[in-house]
Amino acid sequence: MACGHVGCCDSSPHQHATKHFQQTGHPVMRSAEPGESWRWCYIDHRVG
């Protein structure tokens, strides 16, 4: 992951991470919450 864009996930009202994927095609996002280390792949619809 090299983009560095920070956007809220789908549980947030504006879903900025999903909009970023739709606009750029960047397929993976990761949580920035303290103590969390999960990632989401928009293409495979999987948590990693």
| Rounded Cα distance, 48 and 6, in Å | 18
pLDDT 10s digits, 2-45: 788 888 878 888 888 999 999 999 999 999 899 999 999 999 99
The two structure tokens encoding residue 24: 């750029």
Nearest to 3 by CA among 18, 19, 16, 21: 21
Torsion angle, CA of 14/6/41/15, rounded to 10 degrees? Answer: 0
pTM of the model: 0.78
pLDDT of residue 1: 63
Q: Which residues pair with 29 in a beta bridge?
A: 40
Q: Tell me: the pLDDT tens digits for 17-28?
A: 999 999 999 999
Sign, CA dihedral 36-22-10-12, equals positive
The domains located in the chain, with CATH, are 1-48 (3.30.40.10)
